[in-house]
Structure 1
Amino acid sequence: MAIDAAGKAAMLDLLNGTETQLGTVQPPERVTSDGRYVFAANANGVEIIDSGVWTWDHVDHFHYYRGEPAALGTVAGGGTAAVATGLLSTAGSTGMFFPSSGTAVLLDNAALSDGTISKTLRLDVEPHAGIIAPLGDGAVVTEADESGTAARLRAVDASGKELATADCPAAAGTITTRVGLVVGCADGAVVATSDGAAPLLEHVPYPAGAAAPATEFDARKGRPTVAGIGTDAGVWLLNTREQTWDWLPTDTPVLAAAAVDDDAGHVVVVATDGTVQVYDESTKERMATTKPLMPKTLASPELAGKVELTVDGGRAYVSAPAEGVVFEIDFADGARIARTLELPTQPVHLVETGR
């Protein structure tokens, strides 16, 4: 699914090529998806679109579902929200943190699947660039220090009661794996888990002499190993099962990166020179690279920051907003460009749904 600069949303079915127009949202500053719902955040709230396609992960197999796409409505709030999703689109919850107001809410995913926006939890804290991320029946929410910077994590239950805490200086970036919830910190990450008892917040420090911290994470949905990028020419790999970090140096600085976390250990990187590179997680060797793919996009500082990468079990998808296309790349076959997709609208914001 793509949303252009004016907020026009449209979807392309990768199986049969069917195009679907989804109407218009307010021009978003940030777009997030859990694989079904699309959360388009602007300065005044988050508009939600149900793509109508989703997957239920049973770990050893998957069930795939299809319904009708629909616009579900808006969650109003102050400032461009940080949205944190879970593993399932029809169960659990989705977190939204509004930085200008300090409002943190959880939405009921089961209600969303019925077309209803229902808040199961609302917390009002000091305004800051924060996070609320679902964990079990509750959530993990950031707390600001005296300077207004997220510095501490609080695990709360469904009523908002505090159950556990952990320090997390300059908290930024979150992702949920099958192991647990990850929140990035200036000195490493916190991996939060909950098995129905008291939540456990475990600090995973960076190795001594670490490079710049990761401020965002991405991976094939649910997989234990995630890729984190910061400002250096390289990618952090966090194994949430082993609770270990590994540094993967790259030939060029990185725009986006995602860990496939398959048997071959593929890590896909979009470099600042416009190439898509594939690395071996174990050997750190570059296995393949494409030619530069997006010269027009990289010539625009605004659009260069909008390049999106998403990976699934067999393909990587990379948006080139200025060129108006999305590249489908077979990362296991020498970074071969399998298809160049033209979506019904300019892919300034891109998400992959149905996964």
Structure 2
Amino acid sequence: MKVKAVAAVVTALTLAACGAEPRGEVTAEVPHGYVEGAEETAEAQSRLIVADPDTGAVRVVDLITEEVYDAGRVDSVRSMTGDGRFGYLTARDGTTRVIDSGSWMVDHGDHVHYYRAKVREVGVAPGKQPLAAYSDPVVSVLSYSDGTATVLDRVALDRGSVSELGKIAREPHAGVAIPFGGHLIATVADPGKPLARGVRVHDRQGKAVADIDQSCPELQGQAVTRRGVVFGCADGALLVTEKDGAFTGVKIPYPRNVTAQERVTAFFHRPGAATLAARAGESAVWSLDVARRSWQYVETGPVAAVNAVGEGGPLLVLARNGQLRSFDGAGKEQTAIPLMTPEAAAADMPTIQVDSTRAYVNNPLSAEVYEIDYNDNLRRARTLRVGGKAGHIVETGR
């Protein structure tokens, strides 16, 4: 495939490389990541964006104060994805509304800044029903099932408006584009193929600067960790890392031959953490330790939702019978508790959101979100009632 077909980003994207970077420069008096009107805090200001698919009501729950903020309505919410601060909600007509949760962090590796601000509606983003959203301090990128991706000005989003910098146009496929290492990593597909076969690195102007020489056949699923970006492949996982501007791909093969039903199609993890979880068919789960580059296959029984806490932490599984279960790194079950009805668990909408101390599980048939202390035998620490139905949730500020 020619580079022009893989990525054609408009000239305005130059702003992301040259114009936006200086705007992010700070003086000694202004902490890095600060946005006018925001308050820097000493601890994470975690919040939940919760959407009711029936009424379209969108609410933001402050997990410290338990205050619930009205964040407007989105007609018949079909899906929601988040990037750590903003929620991107797809309405019945496919349009994407952007909600600012007013909670975020700036991670410098050796230290973290936490901020809080007012909840607000930002506006409508270009494109229809994003598959994924990823951000860095300069850009936010929404990826769509037709192979396109929209690059938004993150500084403008922080200030409360949607400003498109450009688009990435590729062969139509269910792919993603991810800001990483000051570049954009975009999936690559062959003409007529629904899934990607690998990834390519582009600069912020859209110019291809490197091909990752490791293939990733039938690419599905991705995760951004502190150790690099991980993609799910038919034959394992592809880890892409960056050092001094050079990008490298390393394959982490499955420990055995897997069927099409067993292979990874989506990863779940605590933001930044390098231990990933994924379904392995209907009745088992994969745990991928990126640091050790090793897989663990865990037979769990029918799975409704899954997530991984991180290195040394448990693997969390919501079973189809409504039980929440935890497994250790060797795949041995530690604890199981009843959490919701089988009907709610089987509704194909529950998710498990994980931060450094708690997990949050939504009951899509009620107004309840359950806060779980996963370090204390899955103790239900709180039941948060948000009004309406907690059909879709994403956590921010982590």
* TM-score normalised by length of structure 2: 0.80
Shift of 1:196: 4.2
**8 Å CA contact 1:120, 1:158 repeated in 2:** no
| 2:276 aligned partner | 226
Q: Counterparts of 2:111 and 2:200 in 1: how far apart (Å)?
A: 34
Moved more, 212-221 or 54-63: 54-63
Shift of 1:112: 1.8
- Deviations along 1:55-76, whole A, 9 cap, x unmatched? 2234444332111111111222
Please, which of 391, 395, 398 is the counterpart of residue 348 of structure 1? 391
Three-state SS of the structure 1 residue aligned to 2:246 is coil
Q: Counterparts of 2:121 and 2:174 in 1: how far apart (Å)?
A: 27
Please, which of 320, 326, 329 is the counterpart of residue 278 of structure 1? 326
Three-state SS of the structure 2 residue aligned to 1:236 is strand
| 2:225 aligned partner | 177
Alignment of 1:104-183 (within 5 A): 104-152=149-197, 153-162=199-208, 163-165=210-212, 166-183=214-231
**8 Å CA contact 2:60, 2:69 repeated in 1:** yes
Residues 26, 174 of structure 1: alpha-carbon distance in 2 compared, 3 angstrom cutoff: farther
Instruction: Indicate whether 1:208 and 2:256 are aligned.
Output: yes
Instruction: Indicate whether 1:255 and 2:304 are aligned.
Output: yes
Q: Counterparts of 2:232 and 2:124 in 1: how far apart (Å)?
A: 28
Please, which of 225, 234, 241 is the counterpart of residue 186 of structure 1? 234
| 1:15 aligned partner | 64
**8 Å CA contact 1:84, 1:174 repeated in 2:** no
**8 Å CA contact 1:12, 1:19 repeated in 2:** yes
Residues 31, 230 of structure 1: alpha-carbon distance in 2 compared, 3 angstrom cutoff: farther
**8 Å CA contact 2:172, 2:192 repeated in 1:** no
Residues 242, 108 of structure 1: alpha-carbon distance in 2 compared, 3 angstrom cutoff: farther
Structure 1: tracts of 5 or more residues without a match:
none
Larger radius of gyration: 2
More strand by share: 1
Moved more, 3-12 or 50-59: 50-59
Q: Counterparts of 1:177 and 1:158 in 2: how far apart (Å)?
A: 21
Please, which of 56, 69, 72 is the counterpart of residue 119 of structure 2? 69
- Runs of 4+ with >4 A deviation: none
**8 Å CA contact 1:121, 1:160 repeated in 2:** no
Number of residues paired by the alignment? 343
Q: Counterparts of 1:105 and 1:2 in 2: how far apart (Å)?
A: 24
Three-state SS of the structure 2 residue aligned to 1:110 is helix
| 2:335 aligned partner | 288
Shift of 1:179: 0.9
Three-state SS of the structure 2 residue aligned to 1:85 is strand
* TM-score normalised by length of structure 1: 0.89
**8 Å CA contact 1:83, 1:94 repeated in 2:** no
Three-state SS of the structure 2 residue aligned to 1:290 is strand
Structure 2: tracts of 5 or more residues without a match:
1-48
| 2:358 aligned partner | 315
Q: Counterparts of 1:33 and 1:48 in 2: how far apart (Å)?
A: 9
**8 Å CA contact 1:317, 1:326 repeated in 2:** yes
Q: Which amino acid in structure 1 is aligned with residue 250 of structure 2?
A: E
**8 Å CA contact 1:104, 1:124 repeated in 2:** yes
Residues 122, 239 of structure 1: alpha-carbon distance in 2 compared, 3 angstrom cutoff: same
Residues 238, 126 of structure 1: alpha-carbon distance in 2 compared, 3 angstrom cutoff: same
Identity of aligned residues (%): 34
Residues 109, 194 of structure 1: alpha-carbon distance in 2 compared, 3 angstrom cutoff: farther
Q: Which amino acid in structure 2 is aligned with residue 272 of structure 1?
A: R
| 1:240 aligned partner | 290
Q: Counterparts of 1:147 and 1:343 in 2: how far apart (Å)?
A: 44
Q: Which amino acid in structure 2 is aligned with residue 242 of structure 1?
A: R
Moved more, 144-153 or 218-227: 144-153
Shift of 1:143: 2.5
Shift of 1:150: 1.8
Residues 192, 46 of structure 1: alpha-carbon distance in 2 compared, 3 angstrom cutoff: farther
Please, which of 365, 371, 381 is the counterpart of residue 338 of structure 1? 381
- Deviations along 1:288-342, whole A, 9 cap, x unmatched? 01115133424xx6xx211111111221111111132111111111111111111
Please, which of 26, 38, 44 is the counterpart of residue 87 of structure 2? 38
- Deviations along 1:176-227, whole A, 9 cap, x unmatched? 1111111211211211122342322222221223351111111111111111
Q: Counterparts of 2:57 and 2:122 in 1: how far apart (Å)?
A: 15
Q: Which amino acid in structure 2 is aligned with residue 24 of structure 1?
A: R
Three-state SS of the structure 2 residue aligned to 1:151 is coil
Moved more, 237-246 or 15-24: 237-246
**8 Å CA contact 2:127, 2:150 repeated in 1:** no
Q: Counterparts of 2:238 and 2:254 in 1: how far apart (Å)?
A: 11
Please, which of 116, 133, 141 is the counterpart of residue 84 of structure 1? 133
